[in-house]
Amino acid sequence: MSRLQIRNIGLLLSGDLGNPILDADTVLAVDGKITAVGKQKDIDAEGATLVIDAKGTTLAPGLIDSHVHPVAGDWTPRQNQIGWIDSYLHGGVTTMISAGEVHTPGRPKDVVGLKAMAIFAQRAFAAFRPGGVRIHAGAPVIEHGMVEEDFKDLATAGVIMLGEVGLGSVKDGATAKQMVGWARKYGIQSTIHTGGPSIPGSSLIDKDIVLAADADVIGHINGGHTALPDDQIVALCEQSPRALEIVHNGNEKAALLTLHTARELKKLDRVILGTDSPAGSGVQPLGILRMISMLSSLGEVPAEIAVCFATGNTARIRNLDSGVIEAGRAATFVMIDRAQHSPGRTVLESIQRGDLPGIGMVIIDGVVSAQRSRNTPPATSVPEVVRQ
């Protein structure tokens, strides 16, 4: 039995939009699951096998990237780059959600082939976790010719999500709605491409198609890369009850419009974050941190709320056991502090000024996966492992 104690926490960000800051300085976890959150004097940590002194730094849930396109291992043919997932770990990302393995060279588009590829990707990434990062992969792109039985087969094999609707031959609202309904019937979540074409073979997916398909997640509502007109983005926020996914590789102005509209509608719980990478613009190890900083500073959202977009909001919508710091959840954390020489006096103030925080440690399932980040600016203070 492994017992992790993190003590001397200066600020604890819960990831829960309704209660984003907890009055606690200690977290205890057993075998990778949180068992207690509170004050050190009230928590029995006897027998802890791993003790971390936070040194007054901030503890937050590990960040979740709601929109990536993995292919094989820790390599992306899109940029012919090795080690991109491990680099995201050093940006605080501990969980990734595939929106389709669409960059696979020679990606099969026949029904038998696309099902086989999805099942292979699901199996491969369930067994392979670079740096401990959880990659939820195996997201088939739907094509004409699929029938209800195909979705049942995929679900039985362990596939839990579809790739972006619209990246395959299914581009009309009626067909998409039928297939999204079949997927939902068998417990498979769906995401729809939104905006202009992103890769050869994709097409414009406008608000009428998005509304008709009624997928669970409005993928990159701010475009991936090209956004819809402002009135269509507002209409999606107003007329759809589904998740509003804002991505790094999209239109920043459209991202802020989505945020402002969701806030006016009192629907910030629908906002989730992704990078939509690897893409033509490359890979962005700090993409989620940059989204948090951008939405907080330019969108005038408290930093602790912006963190929730990439943690608790996404965890709830994606049915994950991480993303919130509370008993019973995965002991998956990122430990941050204000970057050295940031004019912000605290980590939250520095984020709200537009700076990135420095990462001092990343913990996944109760195990230290990375210490001082090689990618973020150096944190002012960093945690210390005092017993291992």
What's the pLDDT tens digit per position in 155-208?
A: 999 999 999 999 999 999 999 999 999 999 999 999 999 999 877 667 899 999
Q: Which residues contact 173 (CB under 8 A, 6 or more apart)?
A: 208, 209, 211, 212, 213
Q: Which residues contact 281 (CB under 8 A, 6 or more apart)?
A: 225, 249
pLDDT of 254 > 70? The answer is yes
Of the CA atoms within 13 Å of residue 137, those in its CB half-sphere come to 27
What's the pLDDT tens digit per position in 14-35?
A: 999 999 999 999 999 999 999 9
Terminus-to-terminus CA distance in the chain, angstroms?
13
Whether residue 97 contacts residue 136, with contact meaning beta carbons closer than 8 Å, is answered with yes
For 36, the enclosing helix (H) or strand (E) is strand 33-38
- CB atoms closer than 10 angstroms to residue 47: 9
What's the pLDDT tens digit per position in 119-163?
A: 999 999 999 999 999 999 999 999 999 999 999 999 999 999 999
Q: What pLDDT was estimated at residue 261?
A: 98
Q: What pLDDT was estimated at residue 72?
A: 94
> What is residue 197's DSSP assignment?
-
Q: Which residues contact 127 (CB under 8 A, 6 or more apart)?
A: none
pLDDT tier, 337 (very low <50, low <70, confident <90, very high otherwise): very high
pLDDT of 116 > 90? The answer is yes
Question: What is the C-alpha radius of gyration for the chain, rounded to an integer number of angstroms?
Answer: 20
The gap from C-alpha 131 to its chain's centroid, in whole angstroms, comes to 16
What's the pLDDT tens digit per position in 255-280?
A: 999 999 999 999 999 999 999 999 99
CA–CA separation, 176 and 366 (whole Å): 40
Residues 329-352 have a mean pLDDT of 97
The sign one gets for the Cα dihedral 202, 203, 205, 208 is negative
* Pairing between β-strand 217-218 and β-strand 243-247 as defined by DSSP bridges: parallel
What's the pLDDT tens digit per position in 61-101?
A: 999 999 999 999 999 999 999 999 999 999 999 999 999 99
What's the pLDDT tens digit per position in 298-330?
A: 999 999 999 999 999 999 999 999 999 999 999
Q: What pLDDT was estimated at residue 318?
A: 98
Residues 30-49 have a mean pLDDT of 96
Q: Which of 137, 20, 25 is nearest to 70 (CA)?
A: 137
Indicate yes or no: pTM above 0.95: yes
Q: What pLDDT was estimated at residue 201?
A: 66
Q: Give me the amino acid identity at 105.
A: P
CA–CA separation, 68 and 84 (whole Å): 11
